[in-house]
Chains A and B, each alone.
Chain A
Amino acid sequence: GQNIDQPTEMTATEGAIVQINCTYQTSGFNGLFWYQQHAGEAPTFLSYNVLDGLEEKGRFSSFLSRSKGYSYLLLKELQMKDSASYLCAGLSYNTDKLIFGTGTRLQVFP
Chain B
Amino acid sequence: SQTIHQWPATLVQPVGSPLSLECTVEGTSNPNLYWYRQAAGRGLQLLFYSVGIGQISSEVPQNLSASRPQDRQFILSSKKLLLSDSGFYLCAWSVPAGDQYFGPGTRLTVT
**Interface set of A (CB-CB < 8 Å, partner B):** 30, 33, 35, 40-45, 48, 87, 89, 91, 96-103
30 contacting pairs across A/B (C-beta < 8 A): A33-B99, A33-B100, A35-B102, A41-B104, A41-B105, A42-B90, A42-B102, A42-B103, A42-B104, A42-B105, A43-B102, A45-B99, A87-B43, A87-B44, A89-B44, A91-B97, A96-B49, A96-B51, A96-B94, A96-B98, A97-B34, A98-B34, A98-B100, A99-B46, A100-B43, A100-B44, A100-B45, A100-B46, A102-B42, A103-B43
- Which residues of B, 12-50, contact A by the 8 Å Cβ criterion? 32, 34, 42-46, 49
Q: Is residue B96 within 8 Å, beta carbon to beta carbon, of the partner chain?
A: yes
Bound CA–CA A30/B94 (angstroms): 15
The A contact surface, by secondary structure, is strand
Task: For the complex formed, measure the closest distance between the CB of B100 and the CB atoms of chain A, giving whole angstroms.
Answer: 6
A43, B90: Cβ atoms closer than 8 Å? yes
Task: For the complex formed, measure the closest distance between the CB of A51 and the CB atoms of chain B, giving whole angstroms.
Answer: 14
Task: Give the size category of B's interface with A.
Answer: 20 to 34
- Which residues of B, 82-97, contact A by the 8 Å Cβ criterion? 90, 94, 96-97
Given A33-B99, A43-B90, A98-B34, 9 other A-B residues pairs in contact with their CB atoms under 8 A: A40-B107, A42-B105, A45-B99, A97-B59, A98-B44, A99-B46, A100-B45, A101-B43, A102-B42
